[in-house]
Structure 1
Amino acid sequence: MRNSCEYNVTVVADPDLKFGQDGNPWTSVRVAWNDNVRNANGEWETKSTVYASVKAFGKLATNVAESVEKGMPLVVIATKMPLPRAYTNKEGETAVSLDIIADNVLFPLSYSAVEARREERVATAPMEVG
């Protein structure tokens, strides 16, 4: 089993489904989470908010694009370290965002119920070797 990271996030923008030059789908969805700490009174305070772009490829990309909307809570599973990316924010300052390559995207059922449907698998012909 590979090591993985789990990110509990909130979607801050609807997914953007695109297709590569090879025709394969990929999507990017902006997410955020708060870095909360307890203050001297024992109350939770938000120290900072972290923003990231979650990237998904193939069937996961199309399922994310069809299922995810702004405001939804998600759990993102990734086995690769997030990649920092510099950009210029609205104020013209250089800022850093994280790109997370998703291995899976889940809906936390502790917040709401979801309706799932299984996709039909398409049979493919075996590859010829030789």
Structure 2
Amino acid sequence: MLNQVTLVGRLTKDPELRYTPDGKAVSNITLAVKRSFRNSNGEYVVDFVNCTLWNRIAENTTIYCQKGSIVGITGKIQTRTYENPEGKRNFITEVIVENVSFMDRKTAEKKPAKEEQETSEHAL
């Protein structure tokens, strides 16, 4: 059986990095992926795909990407369920990212310089 997905799209917001209690880096992103055809109004339909990144991939994506950055990802689809406080069962489908390609060179070049500037300002 094969469970593999490849997507190219834009980040809908800046990635936020957090750490699990055992120290693993994790980030959740939403990727806006334009479909290859237009609807009856002549507009492209966009799918918003939830993705989870772990460890070094999560850290690097947080450093080099921001809202609007174009990224290519490969990974696997995973579903999970949970019960909300009202007792309703909810299903979540997401992509567990195994590889990220930063495709928007301008964004990757801008963000580290901005972080270096902020670090310099805090050191003063």
**One-letter amino acid of the structure 2 residue matched with residue 107 of structure 1:** F
Aligned to 1:88: none
- Match for residue 58 of structure 2? 61
- Supply the AA of the counterpart residue of 1:67: Y
Cα–Cα, structure 1 residues 98 and 3, in superposed 2: closer, same or farther, change >3 Å?
closer
User: Which of 101, 110, 118 is residue 96 of structure 2 equivalent to?
Assistant: 101
Structure 1 position 97, deviation (Å): 7.0
Question: What's 1:29 paired with?
Answer: 29
Structure 2 gap segments, 5+ residues each: 82-90, 110-124
1:12 corresponds in structure 2 to 12
Q: In proportion to residue count, which structure has more helix?
A: 2
Q: Deviations over 1:4-39 (max 9, x none)?
A: 321011111000111101111111112211223157
TM-score, L = length of structure 2: 0.64
Give the root-mean-square deviation of aligned CA atoms: 3.2
Unmatched tracts of structure 1, length 5 or more: 86-95, 116-130
**What percent of counterpart residues are identical?**
21
Deviations 1:56-95 (A, max 9, x none): 11111111111111111110111x225488xxxxxxxxxx
**1:112 Cα deviation after fit:** 4.1
**Partner SS for 1:103:** strand
Pairwise CA distance, 1:45: 3.7
Distance change in 2, residues 1:105/1:73 (3 Å)? same
